[in-house]
Structure 1
């Protein structure tokens, strides 16, 4: 879409909340209770991925791509094994009894994976016939453990019973979420899969991502898209919580608080935004697109506005990838009708086109020290960068004093061939088992891995 002029009425409706606030750290966000005592300053980051190890694959799980020997690079003292094979494995959730739920959007299914001692796990069709299920959340509210399932058009929940292999009757909490079935979209919705989180009070947060790369229509739809909405513990009418998040994935709360963090997939094919002597103004230049705009890792405040589609984070300022200022988007904000100085900045940028998806905090888990506390993010990987990026799992130390992540450290790499020409796996989500292993889902290899300290 070319340059659009926004009327004063549209600007007032879209950005009145953003114009009265500046970017804040999580502990400034109103009712946050602050990090729990376990969290300490990030300090010196722990060792990153530096040792190449073979991927251990049990008998019976060695179909492609594991019909050939595979290896990954991990921190010293860690191993990687294939835990289960789940075709197109997307988001996962670890149940209180150790079972693992895994979504398969294109199959309309959620699998239940049950560990077995000394042999591959059992795999059950826990729920079928769903509309592209994606994110999964376990949450105990008022002595009942619930399982929340996000489909493209609704969010449902059901009570969890240890030992079940099929889902109990599910209640619809939120219905009518926009997806590709909308007549106006004619079957096209680039990011219709839904991600969710549930806060300590039982309120449900739903990411309604953009339908497009960059467009004005999503800011004028009902409900608005490229947003987060919040619903009550029993569903009901949704409240617009934050805007300008093109595709928020990996929703997760800082343990012990109501501070929500997300990963953000930024736009593609950005036009060069500077009217300078280079002669590149308004052109899509691969060398510029490769590193602009960065993806985001950020806390989200109520009433926040995070820029899309009018403003893009700029990694080229002295602050680098931290608290990046915004540039005007050439296509949709060339004349500065939207004040990018009023937008909420991402806390942390991530290399453009990395496609960060799943996010989990390690606080309160059994994952080994010194990685606890910290957060782990799965990068699904680029599709349009000159040189591939992403395709890995990264670690961010956690600084309790600032409520901010520290410098990024690679945790698992190696799904890309050394020459960068081929990829055999794409990480999606991460979680931690009761005995301290990191679960990693991979929708290209159709696998769940275990990263474990020896």
Structure 2
């Protein structure tokens, strides 16, 4: 795990294929040129069998390659019905295209689909997802020479040439969904029914107007997001900071997600040292969003969610209302643990 950048390794033990471990590995720098070589193992996601293994694996050479050219897919989960592997990717910073700085709103953060662990055929499994030459567009109008591009289209970084250009990038695997640039998704977690994927956005550090710093949810059906790949509204905001202009110093910054036995969603915030519990005031489990009645899934009009400061050990209650859901976030300061319950009705 040597290197100065994305040295974390996310581990996922499959519930669908016994004894299979998924391991994600990021890049060693913002623009890691070694990731162009598949043999380096950089910016790749692989699966390994834990059954009947008598010695250590070599990550670079062994395992089932689910995808490469994946800059930093630190969040990974298994869709519970189909068994499909989905990751969320932190894309490149300080992007330049044709001599112009386009990093404020490009490239997009990504939701990637990497196929299955059970042998089900997926033609693009194990293929190149673009990095470090190709990236997904978010704000197409801000991309120079953007003919033919739409949200989620792969386009080339820097100056185009015979080997790095938009034609080559169009052959790379595009994300299943795209998110606003620099929101930094760090975790993805499906509910049991496979109707919702919850995503934490840690928040930007290199953008004039901070973005992210929130928990969002994406609706799924039949093993795939319900919205098209060029959608800009697939992620519905559930819990946000009250004022992003105070971020990152005085905000909560979502990181990890976990379910408990009652279907409550727990979310950590590393910057503020808090743990949030997302629960429904009507008594239904948060994990049931979208599973039995369309009204249990937040509508787009609910975007914005509840808000808190995350900047002190004890803060007041904030509330907001929407057409289908209302929210209340209450935080109580404790010496050893700080838990916020966010109620959904």
TM range (shorter): 0.5 to 0.7
| TM-fit CA distance, 1:420 | 5.4
Query: Contact 1:354/1:391 (CA < 8 Å) preserved in 2?
Result: yes
How is 1:47-446 mapped onto 2 (pairs within 5 angstroms)? 179-180=1-2, 188-199=3-14, 200-201=16-17, 202-220=19-37, 222-234=39-51, 236=57, 237-271=62-96, 273=97, 281-283=98-100, 285=101, 288-301=102-115, 302-315=125-138, 316=140, 321=151, 324-330=152-158, 334-337=161-164, 339-364=168-193, 373-400=195-222, 403-406=224-227, 407-414=234-241, 416-417=243-244, 422-446=249-273
SS in 2 for 1:298: strand
- For the residue of structure 1 that corresponds to 2:186, the secondary structure is strand
Relative contact order, higher structure (CA 8 A, sep 6+): 1
Report which of the two structures shows the higher radius of gyration computed on alpha carbons.
1
Question: Unaligned regions of 5+ residues in structure 2, if any?
Answer: 116-124, 141-145, 228-233, 282-345
**TM, length-normalised to structure 2:** 0.66
8 A Cα contact 1:208 1:226, kept in partner: yes
Q: Aligned with 1:218: secondary structure? A: helix
**Deviations 1:414-442 (CA, angstroms, capped at 9, x unpaired):** 16456657433210011222112210011
Tell me the distance in 1 between the aligned counterparts of 2:178 and 2:13. Answer: 25
Aligned positions, number: 247
Structure 1 gap segments, 5+ residues each: 1-178, 181-187, 274-280, 365-371
Taking the aligned partners of 1:436 and 1:297, their CA distance within structure 2 comes to: 24
CA distance in 1 between counterparts of 2:254 and 2:247 reads: 16
Normalised by the length of structure 1, the TM-score is 0.51
For the 8 Å contact 1:210–1:218, the answer to whether it is kept is yes
Measure, in 2, the Cα distance between the counterparts of 1:220 and 1:336. Answer: 14
Q: Structure 1 pair 197/420, CA: closer, same or farther in 2 (3 Å)? A: closer
CA distance in 2, matches of 1:388, 1:204: 35
Once residues 9 and 242 of structure 2 are traced to their aligned partners in structure 1, the CA distance between those partners, rounded to angstroms, is: 26
Q: Which moved more, 1:432-441 or 1:229-238?
A: 229-238
